[in-house]
A and B are shown apart, each in its own frame.
Chain A
Amino acid sequence: MIEPLELVIATLVVYIGVLAAIGEYARRTTALTREDFFMGSRSFKTVALLFSLLATQLTAFTMIGVPGMAYREGVGVYGYVASASTLIIPLALATVGYRLWLAGKKFGHITPGQFVNHRYESSYLGMFLMALLTFWTIPYLLLGAVGGGIAFDGLTQGAISYPVGVAVVLLIVFLYVMAGGMRGTTYTNVFQGGLFLVLLTGFLTYFGVKFGGFEAATTAAIGENMDLAVRSMEGQFSTQDWFSFFLLTGLAIPMFPHMFMRVLTGSSVTVYKRMVALFPAGVALAFIPVTFLGFWGAGQITGLEGQAADQILPMLLGEHLPTALLGLGIVVLLAAVMSTLDAQTLTVSTMFSEDLLRPLGSKMSERKEVWVTRLLLAGVFVLTFGLALTQPGTVFWLGEFAFQGFALLFYPTMFGLYWKRANRHGVWAGLITGFVGLWLFQLGLIPATVTYGFMPFVPVLLAQIITVHSVSLLTAAPSRERVQEYTDLFRGVW
């Protein structure tokens, strides 16, 4: 007779075993060259590209932050997050993303830093952008690590403590990223993205039945607080915030370095445009169960306030799943967390290698560069573990703060895709304006009241747009040859 706890362990072992097998397959098929280890030779087909982007998009924020917000603020979180993403991200991918893909295909860019150095004819701008991207990725990396720790701690009711949970998540991801590079993360993401959608749909159905039917589950939730079923126009769901988050999604997500690099890995125009068409369907589906589970959770587990509400999904799974199925509960949380962590850690170490070591004149062979990147990966994991132990902020707040930092990288970096007069001076000025401006708000040196209820990045963005154009116009024009290369490449595309 198999004991329930043994079944939980067996489930986890099978899950980790599948990841290890995929990682090993990726290792065998990956050559130790820059193009192959970092980019999978830009050879991915529709399913691989779609699921790698989708799984990267589904994070600890999706699994921990969104149910936590549905528990605290109600079902308005779906419109706030999901239906913003389903509209603005396909548009961003079809315009800016497509141009970046074309440029990457033609000029061989791997990182955002290489793109800005090339387009804006600079040697050091890429390093500066890399530093900013890394700075804003750290909170986002922490989001995954913290989410993994919360998942283990909450689901096992403390039997697997938070620090041990964080360590397990990081160790597993480290092993398959180190082995297979971009192929390792992409192939595992196909598995994890599919698992995520299937299991979440299963849990939604299971809990709906277990709570006495869907109507009874909803009745219990609104019995606690009717406001959860309507969109409160206060605070987070006010019109200004609703607009801000929509804009934030469109500006920040294309600037995530892990999304940037993944976008470049599609093999052809046909593959790329299919991915754009299918992406919103995956996002729309994934957010329905997490919103419902957070909302229904309010009727089952009461009294969670503030940061504690982020525990609602792990607690719901831990308290209401049969012990034998607990392993699947842990697996779904890990799938969301790890499928983003892997892309982020690979990207950060790739940027260090490509944007810092190569331009500084390192004469490494490609094989050696891959090994150096693997060492950098180890460093990134150790740093993430150390920072995750401090358990900073609520998961949602952490993500939103990093989102604003990314959003303020968008305009200075991308305006040269559409404006021929854009130059490196304008980009430098714009990046600095965005970074300083956001921190002035964060530190309270500019009062929040001047935003009129919008998120702080909105007025900073306006200042940034004026700055990049003014500085570009007041300084030397870019070379005609470079502008012409991009003009020819982008002819006729959006």
Chain B
Amino acid sequence: MADHGERTWDREAFWYPTRDITGMLLAIFLILSALRFDELFGLHNVETMLFGFWPTTFGYQVGMSVLHIGFAYLLYRYWPDPAEDLELGGAAP
């Protein structure tokens, strides 16, 4: 039957609400996920045009995408390197 030593998640992999970098990434991801819902601010039905031609909700979502690019940069900046030096392992199983 089950081996208790293997009945676990890879806990090191996850992000927790801590004060280190992974805690910051978790917080940013959750905030960005929530901000996608533009109805929170009523922006989904604003009829004003940005620059005279760009619908507000469209502009808001493009702004969100710019923030997402920043999030991707943070992933790059704090990327965890692998523990092993990798060489191609040869034929697939």
Taking beta carbons and an 8 Å cutoff, which residues of A are in contact with B?
Answer: 34-35, 42, 74-76, 78-79, 82-84, 86-87, 90-91, 94-95, 102, 105-111, 114, 117-118, 213-215, 217-218, 226, 229-231, 233, 237, 239, 242-243, 246, 269, 273-274, 276-281, 283-284, 288, 291, 295, 354, 417-421, 473, 476-478, 480, 483, 487-494
Expressed in whole angstroms, the Cα–Cα distance for A108 and B56 within the complex equals: 48
Structural contact, A86 and B45, CB atoms closer than 8 A: no
Taking beta carbons and an 8 Å cutoff, which residues of B are in contact with A?
Answer: 1-3, 5-10, 12-15, 22, 29, 32-33, 36-39, 44-47, 49, 51-58, 60-62, 64-66, 68-69, 71-73, 75-76, 79-84, 86-93
Structural contact, B49 and A229, CB atoms closer than 8 A: yes
Task: For the A-B complex with A239-B39, A284-B66 known, give 5 more contacts whose Cβ atoms are closer than 8 Å.
Answer: A83-B65, A87-B29, A476-B2, A477-B7, A494-B80
User: Which residues does chain A contribute within 8 Å of B90, judged by CB atoms?
Assistant: 108
CB-defined A-B contacts under 8 Å, sample of 24: A76-B44, A78-B61, A78-B62, A79-B60, A87-B33, A107-B93, A111-B92, A218-B52, A226-B47, A229-B55, A229-B57, A231-B44, A239-B37, A246-B36, A277-B73, A281-B72, A283-B65, A284-B62, A420-B8, A477-B2, A477-B3, A487-B10, A492-B12, A493-B80
Structural contact, B76 and A276, CB atoms closer than 8 A: yes
User: Which residues does chain A contribute within 8 Å of B80, judged by CB atoms?
Assistant: 492-494
User: Which residues does chain B contribute within 8 Å of A107, judged by CB atoms?
Assistant: 89, 92-93
B5, B36, B60: most-surrounded residue (chain A CB, <10 A): B36
Structural contact, B68 and A280, CB atoms closer than 8 A: yes
Residue from the list A79, A478, A494 in contact with B61, Cβ < 8 A: A79
User: Which residues does chain B contribute within 8 Å of A288, judged by CB atoms?
Assistant: 62
CB distance from A127 to the nearest CB of B (A): 14
Structural contact, B86 and A421, CB atoms closer than 8 A: no
Structural contact, B72 and A277, CB atoms closer than 8 A: yes
Expressed in whole angstroms, the Cα–Cα distance for A76 and B58 within the complex equals: 6
Structural contact, A90 and B72, CB atoms closer than 8 A: yes
Minimal Cβ-Cβ distance residue in B for A478:
B6
CB distance from B56 to the nearest CB of A (A): 8
Residue from the list B39, B45, B82, B87 in contact with A269, Cβ < 8 A: B82
CB distance from B92 to the nearest CB of A (A): 4
Structural contact, A108 and B45, CB atoms closer than 8 A: no
CB distance from B4 to the nearest CB of A (A): 9
User: Which residues does chain A contribute within 8 Å of B12, judged by CB atoms?
Assistant: 491-492
User: Which residues does chain B contribute within 8 Å of A78, judged by CB atoms?
Assistant: 58, 61-62
User: Ordered nearest first, which 8 A-B pairs have the shortest CB separation?
Assistant: A79-B61, A277-B76, A231-B44, A284-B65, A214-B53, A86-B68, A75-B58, A229-B55
Minimal Cβ-Cβ distance residue in A for B52:
A215
User: Which residues does chain B contribute within 8 Å of A83, judged by CB atoms?
Assistant: 36, 61-62, 64-65, 68
CB distance from A479 to the nearest CB of B (A): 9
Structural contact, A218 and B10, CB atoms closer than 8 A: no
Expressed in whole angstroms, the Cα–Cα distance for A421 and B8 within the complex equals: 6
Structural contact, B61 and A82, CB atoms closer than 8 A: yes
CB distance from A470 to the nearest CB of B (A): 12
Minimal Cβ-Cβ distance residue in B for A103:
B89
Expressed in whole angstroms, the Cα–Cα distance for A281 and B46 within the complex equals: 26
User: Which residues does chain B contribute within 8 Å of A91, judged by CB atoms?
Assistant: 29, 75
Structural contact, A218 and B88, CB atoms closer than 8 A: no
Structural contact, B89 and A108, CB atoms closer than 8 A: yes
Expressed in whole angstroms, the Cα–Cα distance for A288 and B8 within the complex equals: 44
User: Which residues does chain A contribute within 8 Å of B62, judged by CB atoms?
Assistant: 78, 83, 284, 288
Expressed in whole angstroms, the Cα–Cα distance for A114 and B90 within the complex equals: 13
User: Which residues does chain A contribute within 8 Å of B64, judged by CB atoms?
Assistant: 79, 83, 86-87
User: Which residues does chain B contribute within 8 Å of A218, judged by CB atoms?
Assistant: 49, 52-55
User: Which residues does chain A contribute within 8 Å of B75, judged by CB atoms?
Assistant: 90-91, 94, 273, 276-277
Beyond A86-B65, A215-B53, A480-B6, whether A230 also contacts B83 by CB under 8 A is no
